[in-house]
Structure 1
């Protein structure tokens, strides 16, 4: 991985259930390997249930409910996929607002697989070049994004990938964008 996060915190926003486990755990490890401090944010205190596709996987402890989280405390945001995870996130007003605040603050956001559904709800994809799980391409285009079928796409701090097979490239680019923000405080999403 390129870049260091030097003890900076990175928010991982997930719904109470439905996050694709590998899309949570591999980026989480990448942040830790870059000396960052990942924090799990969800609707409320307690645990979240991750999934391996449609099967229940591990349970993870929430660090902070989204209602108590401040964008100012994080260098960036990671949105794991899974079909149910972003579908639930996009129905939670506090979560959608939290996502939108990262864009207003010009901080990096990384979204993989189905996670861009939450970005659509936050109305932040218009004019962005991005990718996702292929079934979201029409939704993203209808929301104004320039959807492409690439392993990883970076557009001014927004990092997107298609599926778990893309995780190595996704994690590498995610850490680069987060580290650039941490080290230089440069604006993303301009």
Structure 2
């Protein structure tokens, strides 16, 4: 906390840090991200122990570690923060793709990989809509619909996967 304040990212004093409502939102989002990472790490570690495939846990952990490492480096080298953010997100997407590919191969459930690919395509479509600035509402509406379908695919795959492994 003191590092964030002393690094110059936001120039307000420690006493005013919690008076700002934005600081609460940032702290809440960091807490939820940490909680999600811990829950996911525990779940994928248990899954790796059950299936005896350590690659599930490795791919999950490396996807988060890439983003965390690049975020720390972007604080140390502020001029390269955009490039480091792109590198971190690219490495994260690579490891998440490996994770969903492994899950698809192991479970024979095609919705893991197809849901992830559709979700990735919808993010790219939304980014294209934002960058082009023309017909933004059409691009973003299509992207949101595709994201909902992709999340439905992933939810169905996880439900089928959990039903199979909870019965065993």
Task: Give the TM-score of the pair, scaled to structure 2.
Answer: 0.28
User: Which protein, 1 or 2, shows the higher relative CO under an 8 Å CA cutoff with sep ≥ 6?
Assistant: 1
- Larger fraction in helix: 2
Q: Tell me which protein shows more strand as a share of its residues.
A: 1
> Who wins on radius of gyration, i.e. which is larger?
2
